[in-house]
C-alpha cells in the first residue's frame, strides 16, 4: 500500500474513532442528564432559590448584639364538605392540622457575651403562659411563670459554638435551606419511574419520556426520617426540629410530580403536579411554551387555566370566561394575591411581606368557600421589630437543676400541650 493512501486511511480511522468516541460521550452525557433523579433535582434546584428569595426573612438584625420582638397570630377554621376537588381537599387537610396560636415573643442575643434570652407570652386555650429561655455560660435555663419560682438549669448548651450565623433571620433562612438540601439528598432512584409516552404540548401531540416522583405517606415518612436524621446533626436546630410535625398524607392519598422531557435532549416540555385522594384526581399542569399557560384539571377535565399576557395574570374557566386574577409584586415590599370566583367556588390567597429599616411584617391568609359553605379561613400574621442592642439582665444564682424540679410541676408542664415554647425545653 502506498504511504499516501495509508495516511488517508489512518486519518479516516482516527477521525472515526474520535467521532464515535464523541457520540459515545454524548450518549453517556444525555443518558445521565435524562436519569429521573438528575432531571428532578435539576428542576427543584432551579425553582427553590427563586421561591426562597421571595419568601425569605429580611436581614433586620445584622449585629453582634440585637433585640427582636415578634407578634404572632394564627387563626384557623376549617369545615368538612363532600363536594370538594382533590386540590381543595388537600388544602383543607393541611390547614386543619395547623392549630390556632397567638403570642408575643421577644428574642435578645449578645454574641460577645455569649448570652441569649427568649421570652414568650402565649395566649393558650387554658389561659396565658409567660415563659423565658436563657442561654448563659454555655448553660440553658428556663422559667415558667406561675409554675417555677426560679430559673431551672436544663443542662449544657452549644448554641453559640454551633450557630450558623449571628443573625436569627439568617438562621431561619438557613433552616429552610437545610430542609431543602436534605430533601434533595434523600431522594432515591427507587422513588422514581420513567417510561416513554405521548402528551399534548402547545395543542400538539409530542413523543416524550415521563419521569414521575410519587409521594405516598409511606415514602414521605421515609424521606422525613432521613431529613430528621440530617437535621439532628446540626446541634443549633436539634431543639427546633425534634418535635416538628412533618407534612403527612391520608392513607388513600398521594402527590405525584410528573416531568415530561423530549426523548433526545431531555428538555423539559411539561410539568404536572397530581393530587390523588381515593379516586378523585386534581392536577396543575404547566406547559413549556410561549403562551405561558397553567392548567387546573379535575378528573381529566380542564376547569380553569391561567394565562400570562402583557405582565397580567388572568384565571379563566373552561368557557374562556375571566373568573379571577393573580397579582405578584416583587420589589422591596413583596406580595402575591390570587383571587378566583366562579359559580360554585370562591378562593383567595394573600401573601404580603413588608420591610422598613428594622421592621418587618409577614401576612398569609387563605379563604375558601364552596357552594356558600366556608371551608377554610386561615390567617398567619407576624410583625417583628429589631434594634441593634441587647440588654440581658437575668439572675440565675438561685436556679435549681432540672432533676430537682418538683414532680407535680413537671407533670403540669407536660400537660400543657399547645405551648410552642415548652417544646423547646423538652
**The C-alpha cell of 302 is what?**
380542564
- pLDDT given for residue 134 in this prediction: 94
Q: How far apart are CA 9 and CA 158, in angstroms?
A: 71
Task: Write the pLDDT tens digit of every residue in 3-39.
Answer: 444 445 555 555 655 555 555 555 555 565 678 988 8
Between strands 280-287 and 152-156, the pairing is unpaired
- pLDDT given for residue 7 in this prediction: 47
Q: How far apart are CA 339 and CA 355, in angstroms?
A: 24
SS (H, E, C) 304-319: EEEEEECCEEEEEECC
Tell me the torsion sign for CA atoms 414, 415, 417, 420: negative
- pLDDT given for residue 224 in this prediction: 86
Burial 337-373 (b: 16+ CB within 10 A, else e): ebbbebeebbbbbbbbbebeebebbbbbbbbbbbeee
Q: Cell 430533601 belongs to which residue? A: 183
Task: Write the pLDDT tens digit of every residue in 163-208.
Answer: 544 556 666 677 778 888 889 999 999 999 999 999 988 888 999 9
Burial status of residue 189 (CB atoms within 10 A of its CB: 0-12, 13-18, 19 or more):
exposed
Q: Residue 116: which of 176, 160, 177, 80 has the closest Cα?
A: 160
- pLDDT given for residue 267 in this prediction: 87
Q: What is the pTM of this model?
A: 0.77
Q: How far apart are CA 188 and CA 151, in angstroms?
A: 46
Contacts of 228 (CB under 8 A, 6+ apart): 241, 244, 246
- pLDDT given for residue 195 in this prediction: 92
Query: For the chain, which ranges sit under pLDDT 50?
Result: 1-7, 164-165, 243
- pLDDT given for residue 1 in this prediction: 42
Amino acid at each position: 500500500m502506498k504511504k499516501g493512501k495509508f495516511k488517508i486511511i489512518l486519518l479516516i480511522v482516527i477521525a472515526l474513532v474520535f467521532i464515535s468516541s464523541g457520540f459515545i460521550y454524548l450518549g453517556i452525557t444525555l443518558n445521565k442528564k435524562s436519569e429521573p433523579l438528575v432531571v428532578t433535582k435539576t428542576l427543584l434546584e432551579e425553582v427553590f432559590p427563586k421561591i426562597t428569595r421571595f419568601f425569605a426573612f429580611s436581614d433586620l438584625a445584622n449585629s453582634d448584639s440585637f433585640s427582636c420582638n415578634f407578634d404572632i397570630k394564627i387563626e384557623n377554621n376549617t369545615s368538612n364538605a363532600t363536594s370538594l376537588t382533590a386540590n381543595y381537599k388537600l388544602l383543607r387537610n393541611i390547614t386543619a392540622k395547623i392549630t390556632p396560636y397567638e403570642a408575643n415573643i421577644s428574642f435578645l442575643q449578645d454574641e460577645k457575651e455569649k448570652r441569649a434570652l427568649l421570652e414568650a407570652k402565649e395566649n393558650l386555650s387554658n389561659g396565658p403562659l409567660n415563659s423565658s429561655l436563657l442561654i448563659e455560660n454555655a448553660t440553658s435555663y428556663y422559667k415558667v411563670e406561675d409554675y417555677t419560682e426560679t430559673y431551672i438549669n436544663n443542662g449544657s448548651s452549644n448554641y453559640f459554638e454551633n450557630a450558623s450565623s449571628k443573625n436569627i433571620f439568617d438562621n431561619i433562612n438557613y433552616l429552610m435551606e437545610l430542609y431543602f438540601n436534605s430533601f434533595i439528598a434523600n431522594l432515591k432512584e427507587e422513588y422514581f419511574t420513567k417510561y416513554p409516552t405521548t402528551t399534548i404540548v402547545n395543542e400538539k401531540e409530542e413523543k416524550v419520556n415521563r419521569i414521575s416522583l410519587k409521594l405516598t405517606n409511606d415514602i414521605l415518612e421515609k424521606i422525613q426520617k432521613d431529613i430528621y436524621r440530617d437535621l439532628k446533626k446540626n446541634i443549633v436546630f436539634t431543639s427546633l426540629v425534634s418535635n416538628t410535625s412533618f407534612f403527612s398524607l391520608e392513607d388513600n392519598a398521594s402527590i405525584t410530580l410528573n416531568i415530561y422531557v423530549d426523548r433526545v435532549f431531555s428538555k423539559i416540555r411539561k410539568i404536572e403536579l397530581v393530587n390523588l385522594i381515593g379516586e378523585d384526581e386534581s392536577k396543575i399542569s404547566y406547559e413549556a411554551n410561549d403562551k405561558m399557560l397553567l392548567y387546573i384539571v379535575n378528573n381529566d377535565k380542564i376547569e380553569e387555566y391561567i394565562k400570562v399576557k402583557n405582565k397580567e395574570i388572568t384565571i379563566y374557566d373552561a368557557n374562556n370566561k375571566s373568573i379571577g386574577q393573580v397579582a405578584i409584586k416583587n420589589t422591596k415590599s413583596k406580595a402575591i394575591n390570587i383571587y378566583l370566583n366562579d359559580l360554585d367556588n370562591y378562593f383567595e390567597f394573600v401573601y404580603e411581606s413588608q420591610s422598613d429599616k428594622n421592621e418587618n411584617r409577614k401576612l398569609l391568609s387563605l379563604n375558601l368557600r364552596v357552594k356558600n359553605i366556608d371551608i377554610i379561613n386561615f390567617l398567619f400574621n407576624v410583625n417583628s421589630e429589631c434594634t441593634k442592642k441587647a440588654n440581658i439582665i437575668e439572675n440565675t444564682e438561685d436556679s435549681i437543676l432540672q432533676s430537682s424540679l418538683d414532680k407535680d410541676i413537671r407533670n403540669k408542664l407536660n400537660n400543657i400541650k399547645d405551648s410552642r415554647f415548652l417544646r423547646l425545653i423538652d
